[in-house]
Structure 1
Amino acid sequence: MNKDIKLQDLGLKDYKETWDYQETLFKGIVDAKIKNRQENTNFKTNNYFLFVEHPHVYTLGKSGDMSNLLLNEQQLTQKDATFYKINRGGDITYHGPGQIVGYPILDLDNFFTDIHKYLRFLEEVIILTLNDYGIQSGRSDGETGVWLDAGTPFARKICAMGVRASRWVTMHGFALNINADLGYFDNIIPCGIRGKAVTSLHVELGVEKVSMEEVKEKLLKHFSILFEAKFF
């Protein structure tokens, strides 16, 4: 079992380019697993973790509803945004500057083969990181992601999640709002959930800007502890 994870911070990068890169890494791990099985070998499989910020983009998961996008093509162009239907779970979400997107591309055979546990661990990484800032957060029944004041009329989502897994290899991941322009969420029904707000860490802390690098360090610390992993 290889619990070393190669960390790559891609900076600000186009969504489609990043998706294609994820697919390349994902396929490399899957192909290695197939080869191990066919040849009865046991070579180590790689794990990756990508940090990235995307230009304004809306993505719709494979089970999502197009009606949750409230813009037409012309309006998307006016807002300097793009749109993609993609192969993760979940409905529609927004990515943009001021948001930390994390894509763990892991062979779960190196950790544990339980997708439910994997999602709960991803949520826990976010919950523990927000707790470092004095922000109490948690889960909302039946709704993946991380919420503030879940179960109350003031419920608001701070982190969306959607993953794909095949042969216990994961891709896609989480999107945590740090200094996000929340106005872009007004153009969708986030995650297909009506009547619930979205928030960002800088809003909750009442500051103009939060250090993205500091948040990333905290995310990696909690991830490495929960997954018993080492980044390099």
Structure 2
Amino acid sequence: MPDVYIHHLGRLDYQRAWDLQGKLHREVVDRKLARRQNRSKTAAPQHHHLLFVEHPPVFTLGKSGSTDHLLLSEEELEEQGFTFLKINRGGDITYHGPGQLVVYPIFDLDEFFNDVHRYVRSLEEVVIRTLADFGLHGERDPGYTGVWLAGDPARRQPKRKICAIGVHLSRWTTMHGLAFNVRPNLTHFGHIVPCGIAEADRSVTSLSVELRRPVDLDEVTPRMEHHFREVFGFTPTTVPPKRILTP
């Protein structure tokens, strides 16, 4: 059973979190290559990582995204306190901000399963099970990644996206992950075409909106961590934030 270090990092600047992902990704890949060269029982075990974090307001554009889906000018971004970054995950544009639970698995899939499609479906499954804990039925959409809540045409209620997923893999080692809307400012999604999806029958929602009560990240995080362990089948070790954030 793989060993996974759990990191609860609190609120962290996106660039700093991205740099940390890159650092951990290199360490995981280096350890993988060293283990291949040293096939003896004394080879160091692999260490995987699961990062739970919340970001200040930021828009990120994936490799397949279009800058046309950002609806603010550079001046408006600066005036309103947003950061904008082009990054190396898949997918289009999305928003991260306070009240959103972002999770970054740094997993060597050689120790789990070598299947990108299954990996993305597994991330969705974690969120679907977390939603079920709150009495909500999350579902997949055949045309898009992420997790949705079904619409109701009779009530003119669109299908609502509650979790975005975008990943990057190199040497079968993962980066980036999922962004689960717990209690973010949903008006900020109005500054973009979220994930490049402009259909009128689709919108963005949050756990707090659906439950009609405020929900804090602390209420959601342990449930999601539990379902990560269930779905991916690993042994967790919690690591103090100061250790991993020390340069």
TM over 0.5: same fold? yes
Residue 146 (structure 2) pairs with residue 154 (structure 1): no
- Which segment drifts farther, 141-150 or 39-48? 39-48
Structure 2 runs not aligned, ≥5 long: 238-247
Deviation at 1:39, TM superposition (A): 4.7
1:141-168 per-residue CA deviation (whole Å, 9 max, x = no partner) reads 1200000116966111000000111111
Equivalents in 2 of 1:230, 1:75: separation in Å? 45
Give the letter aligned to residue 173 of structure 1.
G
TM-score, normalised to structure 1's length?
Answer: 0.95
Aligned to 1:184: 188
More displaced 10-residue stretch of structure 1: 3-12 or 145-154: 145-154
Aligned residue in 2 for 1:65? 66
Mapping 1:129-208, distance limit 5 Å:
129-149=130-150, 154-195=158-199, 196-207=202-213
| Cα 1:150/1:88, change in 2 over 3 Å | farther
Residues 118-155 of structure 1: per-residue CA shift (max 9 Å, x gap): 11011010001001111111011120000011696611
2:122 aligned counterpart, secondary structure = helix
Q: Is the 8 A contact 2:3 2:46 kept in 1?
A: no
Q: Name the aligned partner's letter for residue 56 of structure 1.
A: P
TM-score (norm 2): 0.89
Match of 1:231 in 2: 236
Aligned to 1:10: 9
| CA displacement, residues 96-125 of structure 1 (integer Å, 9 cap, x when unaligned) | 000000001011111111111111011010
Question: What SS does the aligned partner of 1:26 have?
Answer: helix
In the alignment, structure 1 segments of 5+ residues that lack a partner are: none
Q: Distance in 2 between matches of 1:193 and 1:227?
A: 29
Question: Structure 2 vs 1, CA of residues 36 and 150 (structure 1 numbering), >3 Å: closer, same or farther?
Answer: farther
RMSD over equivalenced CA pairs, Å: 1.5
